[in-house]
């Protein structure tokens, strides 16, 4: 098993086998491979229930007893992915890493992702052992081989990492933190071009503790996370390496949880990645990876492996996983807290929310009104001019243009735009021209009129707006449709779903800070899922989720995890169903991280066959002056492609141009 730091708890999933007898195990394996065929079940059961150190003793005893190499025999008897997995487990960790790196740089092409994963995530001690193992196994120098197979800044950073000389002092100098923040800022954002050497020096050498403080201060100083600057300033494999380094500094288990998810999502499985991580982390931090995986992706690592693999290969992976976190009583408090902090820390970091559409400098409503009239006069319509003006003015400026247009031409600008434009572009441009509260009121009206109700639109708007925004929507709804929003919701929805929406539509959420004692009481109230019926449980959730302040709810969610070892979102999904479940989940996700909630909605509106243009338009319009910049950052962080790229690949024509203008940039 891996050596633990003083006072640290063991977080691996594989343990030393009690009453270990290496000679007996060697004999069991020999018998399992003797004769025709092999007993794969016996092999996987034995190897996955021994620690790596114990496996090395088995190898030595096997050679002493039978004069044969155990790994060579296993290679001969087993095949495919199962063979790669079992053989990987039989090698000492450093030699396993060395083999992975050798395979990544030998032959045609280089597996840059493998190099990045290993070198960005290992400790100094692990790097030193890897370098020695590489030299021993292949009689070659690892640094020289990396230099021979890579180039540019990517190569330089790999060479820095392979030195294994990252500072390890936990004592952090505040002055040096400030200096590093300034140096990184000047090397990237403030410089024409980028000083890559400065990024390499700081990220490749400073201690983890120091860098975490640098990242916090960088966000406060520049208003953007270090990841956003890396994406903006660097490119290619070098960018990927630096992002991986930052992720590992922040949380190595979270980095591997993300790698595992991506290895199995979508069509096909990246088995090499899956094998490498499951082998290398089984005696280090697999329990933490599992917990972060479950919280982040709303399913257990165990269940995803189970659904994505088969045969003895699957059985072995599940043994390494060590348990199903969806099963009762299988959630680990330490890792649950780590998982919780992923969003709790971001929530309290006071990240500045920023839109992408800003007031135009040297604004001239008179000139804009004339240009818009000209663009719609005569035969044909100049969509480019209309799009350029409207997407580059703030909503307040657009209202001035509307008034000026009526004063000059005696015409209603909205009516003219409606007659000149059509389809998705018309919906987007007309949406941008409406005051925000009136736009939201119209979206709610549309969601409730005609046959059927668009519950998703009702939830998206009412679960995410502030008290001030909700009150403005109520006034706009009454003014535009001569009916109260509450009456409309009452006649178009029913049951607990109606009660929840009406509660949200009052705009009376508390706005104070957290009360820890009350938060514990609230958490206890919703944690007790066994008392009362389903209706009682939904009422308790509604009372708390629809009325408490966001800051207080974050503390409630933390207390909930402490009490149950479950994320509140997981409990809602397990205990509830239908629209009630969906609205509660939306509230929780909005409290956790509102930009991420909208990033998810945007991604889902464009993935797969067809595009949900109405959802796409509604979010782009409503968030453009609030937090669309933050939504963009969450989008690229979660989906590994920018919102700009997603829009570009999923829309076309003038609608595409207008959306990209509102998006405000490529990340």
pLDDT value, residue 34: 87
pLDDT band of residue 536 (cuts 50, 70, 90) is: confident
What pLDDT is attached to residue 109? 75
Residue 339 near residue 296 (C-beta atoms within 8 A): yes
Are residues 354 and 337 in contact, defined by beta-carbon separation less than 8 angstroms? no
pLDDT at 91 over 90: yes
**Stated pTM of the model:** 0.71
Angle at CA 253, nearest 5°, toward 321 and 208?
155
Least confident interval from 101-110, 131-140, 196-205, 305-314: 101-110
Q: What is the pLDDT of residue 329?
A: 42
Position with higher pLDDT, 120 vs 169: 120
| pLDDT confidence bin for 190, thresholds 50/70/90 | low
- 106 or 318: which carries more pLDDT confidence? 318
Q: In the prediction, which pLDDT does 571 show?
A: 87
Euclidean distance between the first and the last CA atom of the chain, given in angstroms as a whole number: 42
The predicted-structure confidence for 310-352, as pLDDT tens digits, reads as follows 999 999 999 999 988 765 444 445 545 555 555 455 444 456 7
Candidate from 14-28, 466-480, 508-522 with smallest mean pLDDT = 508-522
What is the rounded average pLDDT for all residues in the chain? 91
Q: Among all chains, which residue has been given the structure tokens 């997407």?
A: 391
Closest alpha carbon to 343 in 164, 593, 613, 136:
593
pLDDT of residue 569: 86
Predicted confidence at residue 346, as pLDDT, reads 46
**What φ, ψ does residue 301 adopt, rounded to 5°?**
-60, -40
What are the angstrom distances between the C-alpha of 129 and each of 59, 133, 206, 341, 429?
A: 20, 6, 20, 32, 60
Least confidently predicted of 19-33, 178-192, 319-333, 375-389: 319-333
| Mean pLDDT computed over 479-496 | 95
pLDDT digits (tens, 9 = 90+) for 255-304: 999 999 999 987 778 999 999 999 999 999 999 999 888 878 878 899 99
pLDDT the model gives residue 562: 77
Between 141-150, 322-331, 419-428, the lowest mean confidence (pLDDT) is in: 322-331
- Range 352-374 average pLDDT: 94
Q: Dihedral sign for Cα 611, 615, 618, 623, please.
A: negative
Q: Please, how many CA atoms are within 13 Å of residue 328, restricted to the half-sphere of its CB?
A: 0
């Amino acid at each position: 098993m891996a050596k633990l730091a003083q006072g640290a708890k063991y977080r691996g999933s594989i343990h030393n086998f009690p009453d270990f007898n290496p000679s007996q195990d060697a004999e069991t394996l020999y018998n399992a491979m003797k004769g025709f065929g092999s007993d794969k079940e016996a092999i996987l059961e034995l190897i996955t229930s021994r620690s790596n150190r114990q496996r090395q003793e088995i190898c030595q005893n096997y050679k002493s007893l039978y004069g044969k190499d155990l790994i060579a025999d296993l290679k001969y008897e087993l095949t495919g992915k199962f063979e790669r997995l079992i053989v990987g487990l039989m090698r000492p960790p450093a030699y396993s890493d060395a083999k992975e790196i050798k395979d990544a740089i030998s032959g045609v092409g280089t597996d840059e992702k493998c190099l990045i994963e290993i070198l960005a995530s290992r400790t100094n001690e692990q790097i030193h052992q890897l370098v020695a193992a590489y030299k021993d196994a292949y009689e070659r120098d690892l640094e020289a081989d990396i230099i021979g197979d890579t180039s540019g800044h990517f190569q330089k950073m790999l060479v820095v990492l392979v030195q294994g000389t990252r500072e390890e002092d936990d004592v952090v100098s505040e002055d040096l933190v400030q200096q590093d923040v300034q140096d990184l800022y000047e090397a990237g954002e403030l410089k024409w071009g980028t000083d890559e050497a400065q990024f390499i020096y700081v990220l490749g050498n400073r201690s983890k503790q120091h860098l975490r403080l640098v990242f916090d201060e960088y966000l406060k100083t520049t208003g953007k996370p270090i990841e956003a600057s890396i994406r903006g300033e660097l490119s290619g494999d070098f960018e990927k390496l630096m992002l991986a380094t930052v992720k590992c500094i922040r949380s190595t288990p979270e980095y591997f949880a993300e790698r595992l998810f991506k290895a199995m999502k979508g069509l096909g499985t990246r088995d090499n990645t899956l094998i490498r991580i499951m082998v290398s982390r089984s005696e280090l931090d697999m329990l933490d990876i599992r917990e972060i995986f479950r919280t982040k992706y709303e399913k257990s690592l165990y269940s995803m492996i189970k659904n994505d693999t088969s045969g003895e290969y699957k059985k072995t992976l599940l043994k390494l996983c060590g348990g199903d976190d969806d099963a009762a009583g299988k959630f680990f408090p330490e890792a649950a807290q780590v998982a919780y902090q992923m969003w709790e820390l971001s929530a309290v970091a006071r990240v500045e929310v920023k839109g992408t559409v800003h007031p135009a400098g040297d604004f001239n409503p008179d000139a804009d009104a004339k240009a818009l009239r000209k663009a719609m006069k005569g035969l044909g319509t100049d969509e480019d001019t209309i799009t350029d003006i409207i997407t580059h003015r703030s909503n307040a400026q657009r209202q001035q243009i509307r008034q000026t247009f009526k004063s000059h031409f005696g015409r209603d600008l909205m009516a003219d735009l409606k007659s000149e434009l059509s389809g998705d572009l018309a919906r987007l441009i007309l949406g941008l021209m409406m005051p925000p509260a009136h736009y939201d009121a119209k979206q709610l009206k549309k969601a409730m009129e005609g046959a059927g109700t668009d519950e998703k639109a009702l939830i998206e708007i009412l679960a995410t707006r502030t008290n001030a925004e909700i009150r403005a929507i109520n006034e706009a709804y009454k003014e535009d449709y001569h009916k109260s929003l509450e009456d409309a919701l009452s006649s178009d929805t029913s049951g607990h779903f109606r009660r929840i929406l009406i509660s949200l539509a009052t705009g009376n959420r508390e706005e104070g800070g957290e009360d820890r004692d009350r938060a514990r009481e609230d958490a206890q109230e919703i944690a007790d899922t066994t008392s009362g019926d389903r209706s009682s449980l939904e009422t308790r959730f509604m009372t708390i989720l629809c009325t408490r302040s966001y800051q207080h709810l974050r503390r409630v969610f933390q207390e909930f995890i402490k009490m149950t070892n479950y994320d509140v979102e997981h409990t809602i999904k397990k205990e509830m169903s239908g629209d009630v479940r969906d609205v509660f989940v939306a509230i929780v996700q909005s409290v956790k991280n509102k930009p991420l909630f909208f990033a998810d909605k945007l991604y889902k509106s464009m993935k797969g066959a067809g595009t949900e243009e109405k959802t796409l338009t509604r979010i782009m319009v409503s968030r453009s002056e609030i937090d669309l910049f933050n939504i963009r950052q969450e989008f690229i962080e979660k989906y590994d492609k920018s919102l700009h790229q997603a829009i570009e690949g999923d829309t076309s024509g003038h609608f595409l141009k207008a959306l990209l203008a509102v998006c405000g940039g490529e990340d």
